[in-house]
Amino acid sequence: MPVRLVLLAALAALALLAHAQPDDELRRLREALAAIQQEQQAVYQQFQMVQGLRGSDTPPAGAPGALVYTPPATPPNFEDLARERAAFDARQSRYRDELDRLYARYRELEERKRPLVERMAEIASTPR
């Protein structure tokens, strides 16, 4: 009789352990997924901020492509205009590079999420 009791206790312990393992794994997967999503949100907010800066940066006055023309009191100095235009182009290039970097990081995080979500779906579909 005590052997049966020991076997029954061992089976109960194994059943609890088998049930706890997927729950622990799910908890770890959820935590990892939450961390990735939090970083993705931060990257997305940075992306929006840089996009806003890029959009609000206006070309130098008097340069080709300027939307409003107000005649200056004195004719613009060509070197000054060229310098301003080069600075504008450099800023726009930096914004573009930063947007590309942030977009690539967001996609990388998305790729890291995929196996976690797939594993969570496997655990959820496995009968207990």
Q: pLDDT tens digits for 95-122? A: 999 999 999 999 999 999 999 999 999 9
Tens of pLDDT, residue by residue over 26-55, are 999 999 999 999 999 999 999 999 999 999
54 is in which domain, residue-wise? 2-58+73-125
| Domains contained in the chain, number | 1
Residue 103 in domain: yes
Identity (one letter) of the amino acid at 13? Answer: A
Place of tokens 């006055």: 61
Residue 64 in domain: no
Q: Is the pTM of this model over 0.85?
A: no
DSSP 99: H
Identity (one letter) of the amino acid at 101? Answer: R
Rounded to 5°, the CA angle 89-55-75 comes to 50
What is d(CA 30, CA 104) in angstroms, rounded to the nearest whole number?
Answer: 23
Whether residue 88 has pLDDT greater than 90 = yes
Per the prediction, the chain carries an average pLDDT of 83
pLDDT confidence of residue 91: 96
Residue 65 in domain: no
